[in-house]
Structure 1
Amino acid sequence: MATVRWARADEADQVLDFYTRMIDGMRGTEFDVCWEHDVHPTRAFLRASTEAGEVLVVEAPGTGADGPRFAAALVLDAEGDPGYDQVRWQVDAAPDEVLVVHVLATLPQFHGRGYARQLLEGAIAAAREAGAKALRLDTFTTNGRAQGLYESCGFANCGVYEDFYPHLGRGGVLYEFAL
């Protein structure tokens, strides 16, 4: 059975390795998330998030030679991406009443096992525990698989923003879960 838990600060290298393997493993496939090494997400963001206790992981059954095998991960923090202030959110909440999911990903060899759903459920529980009013996230307009997951987990589509990721040249779909 897989375990959902917070990555420890001393696991920053494993978190970085997870995202490197995920980007490499999905590049050029039908599930390519179009992320770029050290552009999105950056190593500095992932390391700082891990050290701050903001990375939620799914630890797959069994242990790798270098420690736990992370099958899926996300970052949960209070930092909305640039442009979040332009979105017509459904929940009226101050910035300190919102948590945001970033860089939700599952390694290709673990697709179809429900790990991304488990992570979202963990993020929802953590946001409730923190007293947040809403949990928000975004994804590329081209990422239909993620959009389907978010909607099946109860996230409301709050709109499409065509130039939401100018540094990547992509549009975004914004989602919100009322807590």
Structure 2
Amino acid sequence: MEFIIEAGKLSDIDEIERLYNEMNDALEAGINYPGFKKGIYPVRENAVEGVEEGYLYVIRCDGRIAGSVILSHKPEEAYIAVAWNIECSYDKIIVIHTLAVHPDFVRKGIGHSLMNFAEQHARKQGMKAIRLDVYEKNYPAIRLYERCGYEYVETVDLGYADYGLPWYKLYEKVL
């Protein structure tokens, strides 16, 4: 399979929203490792904001959006009190948010390709590190991040306990 990764456009929003909805339907029907909830997260507004701010990227396969990721400089509030491996301001750090893969493309290397892209993108921009959070029971994603060289830093509460998601693991890759 050949993939193309590029910045998302406003014309992609409807297809990204379908990706989110179909992914959430598939997760609900199976094992919902990331704890995503249809209508709550991720939703169209996340994609619109990511595109408008220039942080959302899509991966295309055969003309379809197979996945997407948001690469911003915006940490979750809980990140601030954490003892990270490298200290620097968030203008030199990429934070990975909303890594999503369409159910038709699961286990085809989409997540790994997006993670590799995030690292290449961060290095080109002179970033010092990449950070992310992952629900503590999202075992497939944790395996992916660890295989990509991310180091576990700490487990924190991001404020989603009401949704049954009390603890998130924080990972970092120093570049």
TM-score, normalised to structure 1's length?
0.88
Contact preservation (8 Å) 1:12, 1:47: yes
Within the alignment, does 1:9 sit opposite 2:3 as a pair? Answer: no
Match of 1:115 in 2: 110
Paired positions, count: 172
* Residue 134 of structure 1: aligned partner: 129
- SS of the residue corresponding to residue 154 of structure 1 reads coil
- 125-134 vs 114-123, which moves further: 125-134
Comparing 132-141 with 103-112, greater Cα deviation is found at: 103-112
- Do the aligned partners of 1:139 and 1:146 also contact (CA within 8 Å) in 2? yes
SS in structure 1 of the partner of residue 163 of structure 2: coil
Q: Which letter does structure 1 place at the counterpart of 2:126? A: G
Aligned equivalent of 2:72 = 77
Question: Structure 1 stretch 20-29 or stretch 142-151: which is displaced more?
Answer: 20-29
For the Cα contact (< 8 Å) 1:12–1:51, is it kept in 2? Answer: no
Q: Which has the higher strand share?
A: 1
Q: 1:81 to 1:168 in 2, by over 3 A?
A: farther
- Where 2:54 maps in the other structure, the secondary structure is coil
Of residues 75, 88, 94, the one that matches 2:89 is 94
1:54 and 2:55 matched = yes
Change in CA separation of 1:108 and 1:45 when aligned onto 2, cut-off 3 Å: closer
Per the alignment, residue 174 of structure 2 pairs with: 178
Give 5+ residue unaligned stretches, structure 2.
none
- The CA RMSD measured in Å over matched residues stands at 1.6
Q: Which runs of 5+ in 1 are unaligned?
A: 64-68
Secondary structure at 1:112's aligned position in 2? coil
Q: Tell me by how many angstroms 1:113 deviates.
A: 1.2
SS of the residue corresponding to residue 83 of structure 1 reads helix
| Structure 1: distance between partners of 2:134 and 2:143 | 11
Question: Which amino acid is the alignment partner of residue 42 of structure 2?
Answer: P
Cα offset, 1:120, TM superposition:
0.6
Question: What's the CA shift for 1:31?
Answer: 4.6
Tell me which protein shows more helix as a share of its residues: 2
- Partner of 1:92, secondary structure, is coil
After alignment, is 166-175 or 125-134 more displaced?
A: 166-175
Give the aligned residue type for 1:12.
I
Task: Tell me the amino acid that sits aligned with residue 103 of structure 1.
Answer: T
Bigger mean CA offset, 118-127 vs 50-59 = 50-59
Instruction: Tell me what 1:22 maps to.
Output: 23
Cα displacement string for residues 101-150 of structure 1 (whole angstroms, at most 9, x for unaligned residues): 00112122211111101001111111112221111111100101100000
Is the 8 Å Cα contact of residues 27 and 33 (structure 1) preserved in structure 2? no
